Amino acid sequence: MLEQGNIHLPEGSIEKQTTTLNLGPTHPATHGVFQNILEMDGERIIKAESTVGYIHRAFEKIAERRPLYQITTLTDRLNYCSSPLNNMGWHLTCEKLLGVKTPKRVDYLRVIIMELSRISDHLICNSIVGVDTGAYTGFLYVMQYRELIYEVYEEVCGSRLTTNMGRIGGFERNFSDVAFQKIEKFLAEFPGVWKEFENLFNRNRIFIERTVGTGAISAERALNYGFTGPNLRATGVDYDVRVHSPYSSYEDFDFIIPVGTTGDNNDRFQVRNEEIWQSLSIIRQAYQKVQAFKGTEADVYHADAPAYYLPAKADVYTKMEALIYHFKIVMGETEIPAGEVYQSVEGGNGELGFYLISDGGRTPYRLHFRRPCFIYYQAYSEIVKDTMLSDAIVTLSSLNLIAGEMDA
Amino acid sequence: MSLTHETIKETLVAQFGDKILSWEESYGMACITVQADHNLKVLTFMNDDPTMGFQFLTDLTGVHYPDRKGEEISVVYHLHNLKENVRLRMKIYVPVEKPDVYTATGLFSGANWMERETYDFYGVNFVGHPDLRRILNVDEMDYFPLRKEFPLEDQTRIDKDDEMFGR
Amino acid sequence: MSRPVRFNMIQKDFSDLGINNVQLPEGHTGEGFFATSLEKVVGMARKNSMWPLPFATSCCGIEFMATMGSHYDLSRFGSERVGFSPRQCDLLMVMGTIAKKMGPVLRQVYLQMAEPRWVMAVGACASSGGIFDTYSVLQGIDQVIPVDVYVPGCPPRPEAIIDGVLRIQELVQNESLRRRTGEQYKALMDGYGIQ
C-alpha cells in the first residue's frame, strides 16, 4: 500500500493540456450571434478569439442605393433595443447636411423619445446581466414594464420595435393626448419598479460576488480601444456625447453623467442603473418643457422645411403642392447639397456616429455607421483573458453587445 | 476651447509642410488630406504632441471613388481630442491597383477591427497590421463588395424578374 | 401533520377562469374504456408539449423575448420549456436575419435535432431575406432547411409569433405517424441534401 501523502511524479510526465472550447455563434448564453473560440486551462481562459460577421447585412451598401427616408428603416435594425435613438440620430445627420433647423418643441419631444429608448436599452442589458448571474426574476419582472415604453412608441408612430419614427425635421404627427397620458403613466409606475429591481441586485451577495472585480478594463485601455458610452463611463471617463457635442437641445437639460471607478461588470451595471434614473429625470424635465408650450406653439411638431419634410397624407390627396413635394421626396428627387457630415448621438451603447458623404445625388455617395458595439467588442478577448469561463459570460452580457449593431 | 482650427493648421503645416495636401472646414469639422505615405507620421505626431492631443480614434473607414484616377480609394480617420473636445477628419488617397496604407494599430488598439473591416469592404492593404483577414464576410469571398462596381443584390435569387428590378 | 389531500377524481370546470382542458380526440367511449387511434393520442400529446429552440439572431429575437416574458407568456400554450440544446427540442424557431456566413451553422443545428422536428421562420428576414436583398444575406432559410410555418412581419408582433406557434400545433396534431418515414418526406429531405 502506498503511504497517504503527496504523490511525486517525475517532471514532465504529465503534459500540460489545454482545451479548445467553441462558444457560439448560437450559444444561448451569448444573447446574439457571437463566436468565441476559447482556449481553456481547466476553467480559466488562456486565449480568446472572437469572430464576428454572422449577421452582416451590408447596411452601408444598401444605403448607397436608398434615398434618405428609406435609410431610416435600416437604422432601426442597427441597435434594435433602442431603435428611435438610431432613427433620430439619422434624422439629425440629414438635418445637419440639409441645414434644417428644428423648433424647440420638436427637440424636446425627441429628447423624451430618445431617453425612453435609452431606458429600454439599459433595461434589457441590466436584466440580462441578472439572467446570466442566475437571477431570472428581475428579467421577467421588468420586461413587463418595457411594454409601457412600447405603448408610448405605438401611440407616437404605430410600431413597437422597429419604429421608423419621425421625419427629417420632426415627427410625422403631433403627440396625441393619449401619448402624453402614457408617458405620465410610465413616469408614475416605472421608478417604483426600477427601485425594486435595484434592490433585488444591489444587496444580493451572489450578484455582487459574480460581478465585482470581474471583466475589468482600465480607462487607458478603454480609450485606446475606442470605448464610448456606459462602458467607458464605468472606467471613470466622463465622456458623453449629449454633453460634449449637444444635439437636439440637450444643453437645456440638467443631468449628471454617472461614472464608475474600476470598469468592472458591477460598475457597468451601476452606471446603466444610474443612467436610467438620469433619463427619467430628463424625461420629466422635457415633459414639463413640452407642456409649457401653449396655443399654436403646442401644435408645432415639425420644422418648416417643405422640401424635405414629408407632407401630411391628407394634404397629398387634396393639394397640388403637397403632392409634388411628396412625389419628389419619395422618389428622392429633392435637392441635396454635396458635402460631408459627421453627426453622432449618444446611443444605448455609446457614440453612434453617422458619416455621410453626399455628392448631390438622390442617395448618399457613402454612408458609414460608427457602431460602438463593433469597436468595443474587440477588447473582449483582452478583458476575458485569465478569467473564469463563467465570468466571461457575465462580461459578454454586461458589455451589452447587440449583434445587429455590431455587424451592420 | 483653446485649440482652434487655426492652431491645428499652423502646427501641422509647420511640422509637415507640403505633406498636408489640403485643408478645409465643412459643417464645423476640420478636414485635412495627407499624403498617403505620411498618414502614420501625422497620426503619431497628433497623438504625441501635447498641444494637439488627438488620442481618441472615433472612426476609420474607406470610400471608393472610381472616377478619380490614381486616388480611387480613400481612407478616412475621425479623430477626437477629448480634453479640448475638438474633432478632426483626416483623409488619405491611394490608387486602387496598389492600396497600401500604414496601419494605425500600433497607436490605437481599436483600429484593429476597423482596418479589417475596411480591408474586407475595399481591399485596402494595411501594411503592418497584425491580422489582416476578412471580418464580416466569409473568407472565401473573392471580391471587395463595397467597391462601386460590384452589385448590391444577391445574385443567386431566381424569383425576381431582372427587367422589373433593373439589374 | 398530514396534509389535506384532494384526489383529482372529479372533472372540474375551469372554463370561467379562462382555462380549458384539452379536448378528447374522436373515439369510442364505453363503460370504463376509451378507444381511439394511437396517432391521435400521440398528436395530442406532442401538440401540447412543444419544446421550442429559439434561434434568435436579431430584432425578431427581441420580440421573442417579449413573447416569452410575463406579458405575453408563451408558456400558456405548452411551450414553457425553452430548450437551448438542439438535441432535446422539437421546434426550431428561426428569428432574425440569417447571413450566408450563418447558413451552415443553422443547417448544422437543424441536423442535430431529432425527428420529429418542425421549423418556424419568424419574420421577413428568415422567411425571404426581407429588406436585405444583399450579397451577404441568405434569401430565406428555406434555401437550406425545410420550413413548416412562416410568420410575416418585420418584426412580427408577439401575437403573431403566438399565432405561428398555434399553427405549428395544428400541424403537429394532425400529422400522420407515417409521414416521417414516407416517400414524400424522403424526397423533401433529399431536396435539401439531408439524409
Q: Do C133 and B153 touch (CB under 8 A)?
A: yes
Residues in A closer than 8 angstroms to C161, CB to CB, are none
C35, burial (CB in 10 Å: exposed 0-12, middle 13-18, buried 19+): exposed
Helix A83-98 / helix A68-76 crossing angle, nearest 10 deg: 150
Q: What is the pLDDT of residues B123-144, one digit of tens each?
A: 999 999 998 999 998 888 888 9
Q: Which residue has the higher pLDDT, B65 or B155?
A: B65
Model pLDDT, residue A5: 63
Mark the ranges of chain A whose per-residue pLDDT is less than 50.
Answer: 1
Residue C69 lies in a domain: yes
Q: Which residues are bridge partners to B79 per DSSP?
A: B57, B88
**Distance between CA C137 and CA A57 in Å, rounded?**
6
Model pLDDT, residue A225: 93
Cell numbers standing for residue C195: 439524409
* A207 phi-psi bin (left φ>0, alpha ψ -120 to 50, beta other): alpha
Q: Do A143 and C155 touch (CB under 8 A)?
A: no
Q: Do B27 and A65 touch (CB under 8 A)?
A: no
> Is CATH 2.70.98.40 the right assignment for the domain spanning B5-165?
no
- Total structural domains in chain C? 1
How close C174 gets to chain A, by Cα (Å)?
31
Task: Select from B22, B67, B73, B117 the residue whose CB has the most chain A CBs within 10 Å, as the one to mutate to test that interface.
Answer: B117
Task: Select from C98, C105, C135, C142 the residue whose CB has the most chain B CBs within 10 Å, as the one to mutate to test that interface.
Answer: C135
Domains of chain A by residue range: 19-49, 50-407
Beta strands per DSSP E along A241-389: 339-346, 351-358, 366-370
Q: Do A61 and C134 touch (CB under 8 A)?
A: yes
Residue C21 lies in a domain: no
Q: Do A33 and C57 touch (CB under 8 A)?
A: yes
Is it the case that residue B166 has pLDDT exceeding 60?
no
Out of B26, B82, B136, the one facing A56 most closely (by C-beta) is B136
How many pairs of residues across B and C have Cβ atoms under 8 Å apart? Answer: 25
H or E element in which residue B92 lies: strand B86-94
Strands C149-151 and A366-370: unpaired
Q: Judge whether B74 and B22 are in contact, CB under 8 Å.
A: no
**Distance between CA A253 and CA A281 in Å, rounded?**
9
Out of C65, C96, C99, the one facing A56 most closely (by C-beta) is C99
Model pLDDT, residue B155: 74
Return the CATH number at C156: 3.40.50.12280
Residues in A closer than 8 angstroms to C58, CB to CB, are 55, 77, 80, 403-404
Residue C19 lies in a domain: no
Model pLDDT, residue A276: 95
**Distance between CA C41 and CA A238 in Å, rounded?**
63
Strands B73-81 and A35-41: unpaired
A359 touches chain B (CB under 8 A): no
**Distance between CA B165 and CA B85 in Å, rounded?**
46
C139 touches chain B (CB under 8 A): yes
Residue C6 lies in a domain: no
B109 touches chain A (CB under 8 A): yes
Residues in A closer than 8 angstroms to B63, CB to CB, are 357, 365-366
How close A353 gets to chain B, by Cα (Å)?
8
Domain span holding position C121 = 51-172+184-189
Model pLDDT, residue C73: 86
Residue C119 lies in a domain: yes
Q: Do C139 and B156 touch (CB under 8 A)?
A: yes
C103 touches chain B (CB under 8 A): no
B106 touches chain A (CB under 8 A): no
Residue C93 lies in a domain: yes
From first to last of the 195 residues of chain C, give the pLDDT tens digit: 565 655 555 566 666 766 666 777 888 888 888 888 998 889 988 888 889 999 888 888 888 888 888 888 888 888 878 888 889 899 999 998 999 889 999 999 999 999 889 999 999 999 988 888 888 898 889 889 999 999 999 889 999 999 999 999 999 998 888 888 889 999 999 988 887
C154 touches chain A (CB under 8 A): yes
Could you give the ipTM of this predicted complex? 0.92
Q: What is the pLDDT of residues A147-176, one digit of tens each?
A: 999 999 999 998 888 888 988 989 988 999
> Is CATH 3.40.640.10 the right assignment for the domain spanning A50-407?
no
C105 touches chain A (CB under 8 A): yes
Out of C133, C136, C139, the one facing B137 most closely (by C-beta) is C136
